[in-house]
Amino acid sequence: MKVALVSEYYYPLLGGITEHVHNLALALSKRGHEVVVITHNLKPKKHHHYPNGPEIFPVVRFGKGFPIYSNGSIAHITLGRGLGANLENFFRQENFDVIHAHSPLTPILPVIALRRSNAPVTVGTFHTYFDRSRGYSWLQKKAERHMEMMDGRIVVSEACVEALSRYFETDYKVIPNGVDPDCFRPDAPVLPEFDDGKLNILFVGRFDPRNGLRTMIDAFKIVKSRFDNCRLIVVGGGPLRPYYRSLVGKGLAKDIHFAGLINGGRPNYYASADIYCSPCTKASFGVVLLEAMSSGKPIVASDINGYRLVMEDNRHGILVGEPNPAAFAEAILRLLNDPELRQRMGQNGRDTVMEKYSWDLVAKQVEALYLELLGRKPETEPVALAPTDEIAYALND
């Protein structure tokens, strides 16, 4: 099959949707399909990140990417004069079998791709949980028409179904996020600067309010007062970085390490951690939980819908019902004081990933849906593809 994956989120932007699109493209390519990623043309900056090593699929870039604030996070949209016509021309030249839009009702690139598609099959994957949407309330009729354009609708968890069902009556196929267990593994090299006998608590995420970094810092202050031999490692970045650093104070500056934005080195940070912590207030799934589980680490996380569907309380870690620093601190202290519990929960997480969440398993489910919609039978053996350079299809510079 020839497949176009369309997304507002792709490198150099980091985040769960970027990881999903990239790894799905890799996995489908390894299974013998011709995959193209279609995304924004965001001019690189010094802090931007790209995947390590050559790709086996091209990346085609349209328009220009711009940040906006939405749903408690920094979102992105793609703008460009003639964007729709340029996409339509590209689709006509390439003749894709499947055009697969990620966050398909989110302006602008996925919506335009669905409207301009000439492919036999269009698919959308919904990644986000939300409580209410003013946009869907105001534009429900238009959104319903876009829903009807899709032959298949994938959601990464039942939490997405819950959110979308408030506005749309239709069928969804639940196919979860995945993780690469060969990359995120318990025996990945530990970072020397954190291998000094202290127990390491890890936070990974963009510095968006909903990801709960303030709760994490305040919880660590409580933990540190009762368990001195520990540190907090913060991986991530964003415009609010100066604000979060201001919360630390001089007394804890040496024990809270801000690592910045990390892409290829994340497995080493997980390997260096003893506990992974995520006090997020809103999530549809939680790719970071899968990364921690695949790395064999116990988790302390918010008891929210998206997380509850990934990890099991007291099996893979501890789900905290009260989203406050004191409650998170108590859960962290329980694990810090019980090495056997940490080891057992970490192993349970690794086992679950191998059974359900490896990208090979996830890609097979996506492939099966494509083939079902195309009316074909599953392919037999995957075919290896040669690496190709990224295509800079940068219009309207």
Q: Is the pTM of this model over 0.85?
A: no
Count the Cβ atoms, other than its own, within 10 Å of residue 332.
26
- Beta carbons within 8 Å of 314's beta carbon, 6+ residues apart: none
User: And the tokens for 62?
Assistant: 């349209």
Dihedral of the alpha carbons of 78, 240, 279, 193, in degrees to the nearest 10 = 110
Cα 99 from Cα 26, distance rounded (Å): 16
Tokens linked to 103: 């966050």
301: left (phi over 0), alpha (psi -120 to 50) or beta: beta
Core vs surface per residue 159-190: b (16+ CB within 10 A) or e: bbbbbbeebbeeebeebbbbbbbebbbbebee
Specify the amino acid at residue 199.
L
d(CA 230, CA 53) in angstroms, rounded, equals 35
How far is CA 276 from each of CA 156, 288, 295, rounded to the nearest angstrom?
22, 9, 10
Q: Could you give all domains of the chain from N- to C-terminal order, each with its CATH number?
A: 2-178+358-374 (3.40.50.2000), 192-355 (3.40.50.2000)
* pLDDT per residue rounded down to tens, the chain (397 residues): 999 999 998 988 888 889 999 999 999 999 999 999 999 887 655 444 556 545 679 999 998 877 665 555 556 677 778 899 999 999 999 999 999 999 998 888 999 999 999 999 999 999 877 766 666 656 667 777 888 899 999 999 888 888 787 878 889 999 999 999 999 999 999 999 999 999 999 999 989 888 999 999 999 999 999 999 999 999 998 889 999 999 998 889 999 999 998 878 999 999 999 999 999 998 778 889 999 999 999 999 999 988 998 999 999 999 999 879 999 999 999 999 999 999 999 999 999 999 999 999 999 999 999 999 999 756 545 444 444 444 433 333 3
Please measure the distance between the N-terminal and C-terminal CA atoms of the chain and give it in whole angstroms: 32
Looking only at the bridges linking them, the beta strands covering 230-235 and 256-260 are: parallel
Largest CA distance in the chain: 64
